[in-house]
Amino acid sequence: MGQLHIVFLPVMAHGHTIPTLDMAKLFTSRGLKTTIIATPAFAGPITKAQESGHAINLSILKFPPKGSSLPDNVVSLDQMSTPDLIPKFVEALSLLREPVEKLLQELNPNCLVSDMFLPWTADSAAKFGIPRLVFHGTNCFAQCVAEQMHIHKPYKNVSSDAEPFSVPNLPHELTFTRSQVPEFELFEDEENEFSKLRKQMRESDKKSYGVIFNSFTELESDYADHYKNVLGRKAWHIGPLLLRNNENEEKPESRGRESAIDEHECLSWLDSKKPNSVVYACFGSIATFTPAQLHETAVGLEGSGQDFIWVVRNGKHDDEEWLPEGFEERVKGRGLIIRGWAPQVAILGHPAVGAFVTHCGWNSTLEGICAGLPMVTWPVFAEQFYNEKLVVEVLRVGVSVGNKKWMRVGSEGVSREAVAEAVRRVMVGEEAEEMRNRVEGYKEMARRAVGEGGSSYKGLNDLIQELSVYVPPSKKQDTV
């Protein structure tokens, strides 16, 4: 067989498009032809990668698609701020089927790696006789927890939102409260567009060829086994994708979007600080807080006594609604607020940064691990409460801030005292040192995993090998 051609189709969210571009770079570096199908709003970083020499092809897909009832300016999942937009977004995703199939017809790839939010792609791939691999953007641990949660529904056996329960049949005893369970799990039986989509996603996962994880087996080996042996799924761990195999080739440029702050200015601010003396707090590209929660966070960070960089997403609330009076003057020189997009990976990699306050989005969590940083876990929505358990209880490289409630938008409920206390615990003292040592160990394992002969390196070899001899089920029957 000639050169394999892999087509990637991510959903419109930075947490999915960033690792997809990393994945395409990785596959390209192994000699495969790659094409990313991207919407105009997410094409910029791909064009930039092309300009810096990556032989990745780009096919543009209009979004919102023809016939969609989404307003034209809604182009990304992080714009789902009001409930009425969700069914329209779901509908728009399904309307992509026709234009995507047209592109697949033209591109004629050997494999489609597509997002979990695009369940119809399993049928599209079958139509063209190629395997579809699912990309969830998360890790295997969270998938196992979500599956067992869905199968056993242990949250139905408790009498209040606050009563703890554990999830059966998992390698570790993991305890949650009902208020931390994702809404899409609790209300999957309701008849609405999103719950219909969730059902389609489950069915689609089952009929797909397998799953790609942006993770490495050493990080979650019990769960890699569980996924395969208990849940009977096929998966390849090929990450951390951000490290790739040729990490020295590039410096960690701003990923996803242009930074709201000059990267050099930010890094030279950090240059003036002692090693491990600054805590970095950022909550990803989608999570939102109420003004009251932003206010508590500010007071908590100030009260922790630690130097900090805090990323506050732009455009949600005016400063007057949440910024404590005189805050920036008081913390001048020891606290920096970035309003908008931060060069996160560059910041995390700076020696002055000693810990990471994260919402436990999987990309951020993995970036924290790869930087060898203990974490304050502050999950907000999606599968983030599951990821918190991996960090705090399984890997024991973080401390929970104690958020109790899954909230799709407008999260609140974490006190200033909890913020200050959790930040101090990951920055100073023996416990912090122990966590730092442990996470340094995982950082080294991650580097070995992607290096030649490492587990993720081999994982990708195995996958490429399988793809090169793939025979569609229809052809298999023909030959019997």
The 10 Å CB-count burial string (b at 16+, else e) for 274-291 is eebbbbbbbbbbbbbbbb
Provide, for the chain, the percentages of residues in helix, strand and coil under a 3-state DSSP scheme, each rounded to the nearest 5: 45, 15, 40
**Spatial distance between the Cα atoms of 381 and 181, rounded to a whole number of angstroms:** 9
Stretch in the footprint of ligand UDP (CB under 6 A) among 361-369, 387-395, 401-409, 446-454: 361-369
Among 45, 361, 374, 454, binds ligand UDP (CB under 6 A): 361
Smaller CB separation from ligand UDP, 14 or 244: 14
**Spatial distance between the Cα atoms of 357 and 377, rounded to a whole number of angstroms:** 6
Radius of gyration of the chain (CA): 22
Asked if residue 18 binds ligand UDP (CB under 6 A), the reply is yes
Nearest distance from residue 358's CB to ligand UDP, in Å? 7
**Spatial distance between the Cα atoms of 326 and 305, rounded to a whole number of angstroms:** 17
Asked if residue 304 binds ligand UDP (CB under 6 A), the reply is no
The site for ligand UDP, by CB under 6 A, has a size of 21
Smaller CB separation from ligand UDP, 198 or 255: 255
Q: Any long-range contacts for 176-184 (C-beta under 8 Å, 24+ apart)?
A: 176/385, 176/389, 177/404, 179/404, 179/405, 179/406, 180/379, 180/385, 180/404, 180/405, 180/406, 181/149, 181/155, 181/385, 181/406, 182/146, 182/381, 182/382, 182/383, 182/385, 182/406, 183/406, 183/408
Nearest distance from residue 93's CB to ligand UDP, in Å? 16
Smaller CB separation from ligand UDP, 366 or 418: 366
- Asked about 115 being catalytic, the answer comes back as yes
Among 22, 367, 383, 388, binds ligand UDP (CB under 6 A): 367
**Spatial distance between the Cα atoms of 130 and 28, rounded to a whole number of angstroms:** 19
Contact letters for ligand UDP, residues 261-290 (x by CB under 6 A): ---------------------x-xxxx---
- Asked about 319 being catalytic, the answer comes back as no
Contact letters for ligand UDP, residues 226-265 (x by CB under 6 A): -----------------------------xx---------
Beta-carbon contacts of residue 265 (< 8 Å; ≥ 6 apart): none
Among 345, 370, 397, 439, binds ligand UDP (CB under 6 A): 345
The 10 Å CB-count burial string (b at 16+, else e) for 359-396 is bbbbbbbbbbbbbbbbbbbbbbbbbbbbbbbbbbebbe
Smaller CB separation from ligand UDP, 209 or 381: 381
The catalytic residue among 22, 78, 84, 115 is 115
Nearest distance from residue 478's CB to ligand UDP, in Å? 42
Asked if residue 15 binds ligand UDP (CB under 6 A), the reply is yes
Asked if residue 342 binds ligand UDP (CB under 6 A), the reply is yes
| Residue recorded with tokens 């949250």 | 155
Beta-carbon contacts of residue 417 (< 8 Å; ≥ 6 apart): 300, 303
Asked if residue 147 binds ligand UDP (CB under 6 A), the reply is no
Asked if residue 364 binds ligand UDP (CB under 6 A), the reply is yes
β-bridge pairing 235-237 and 278-282: unpaired
**Spatial distance between the Cα atoms of 153 and 365, rounded to a whole number of angstroms:** 26
Nearest distance from residue 160's CB to ligand UDP, in Å? 28
Nearest distance from residue 16's CB to ligand UDP, in Å? 7
Nearest distance from residue 254's CB to ligand UDP, in Å? 7
Nearest distance from residue 345's CB to ligand UDP, in Å? 6
Using CB under 6 A, list all residues that contact ligand UDP: 13-15, 18, 255-256, 282, 284-287, 311, 341-342, 344-345, 361-364, 367
By annotation, the residues acting in catalysis are 16, 115
